[in-house]
Amino acid sequence: MTMTDTQNYETIRADVTDRIGTITVNRPEKRNALSRTVLTEIGQVLDAWEGSPDVQAVVFTGAGEKAFIAGADISQLQHYDLAYGLAAHMQKLYDRIEEYPKPTVAAVNGVALGGGLELAMSCDIRILAENAKVGLPETTLGVLPGAGGTQRLSRLVGKGRAVEMILTSRVLTATEALGYGLCTQVLPADGLLAGVRTTVQTILSKGPLAVQMAKLVIGNGAETDQRTGLLLERLAQTLLYTTEDKAEGANAFLAKRPPEFRGR
């Protein structure tokens, strides 16, 4: 029997099942718009889960069937000022998600616009429901994507497509997003979370230290030249060669049995 530990906050739900933590933005009446409270509560959950052995991966999704996260709460946007912009609360939270030591997956179950797409892009993997639509329409409001959108989108889909999407506020269908390389899978809406969990369980069956190192090397290597990236790769591999998990992985393969990794 699978046991689920659920915590309800004011604007999100936090569930843990089979080592997978799921953060659900729970404001369906607002299309799960991002308020300051949502950002604060996501940060609190990430704090709690980072050092917990009970959580080995994190999934983000939205409540209801229509929206993942439809963007920032526009009722709050009109009060943002110079000081709030410089504080960059949302950008800093998304930087943290991108650098989180555990694998992160965005289960995009509906509309993901503005800050919603920016959150998804900060995750390691994005999987979309067939009915999902994604875009960065901030220029329509007289601002720009300021939580990493101008940078992460161009790295994922290329500069030309990023410029076109942002300047025109173009919204992509799930199929278009897959063609752009903005996501890795498109699944039926009623099978999205099950498909995401299958992907996450596959990741969790691998060596945890290898997964963490791979995240570090890929993430940091993408921001530097290839020579430096290859050096990072070499050093990470050298460290992994010294671990018990490496020995277990090789022994299990030769013995034709599933490995029992311990993260050591």
User: Which active-site residues does the annotation give?
Assistant: 118, 138
Q: With beta carbons less than 8 A apart as the criterion, state whether 22 and 62 touch.
A: no
Give the integer Cα–Cα distance in Å for 108 and 60: 8
Give the integer Cα–Cα distance in Å for 80 and 83: 8
Q: Which helix (H) or strand (E) holds 171?
A: strand 171-173
Output phi, psi for 224, to 5 deg.
-140, -175
Question: Which amino acid is it at 177?
Answer: A
Q: With beta carbons less than 8 A apart as the criterion, state whether 153 and 166 touch.
A: yes
Q: DSSP letter for 262, please.
A: -
Task: Write the burial class of residue 58 (CB in 10 Å: 0-12 exposed, 13-18 middle, 19+ buried).
Answer: buried
Q: Show the DSSP H helices in 80-207 as ranges.
A: 82-87, 89-98, 115-122, 149-157, 159-168, 174-180, 192-204
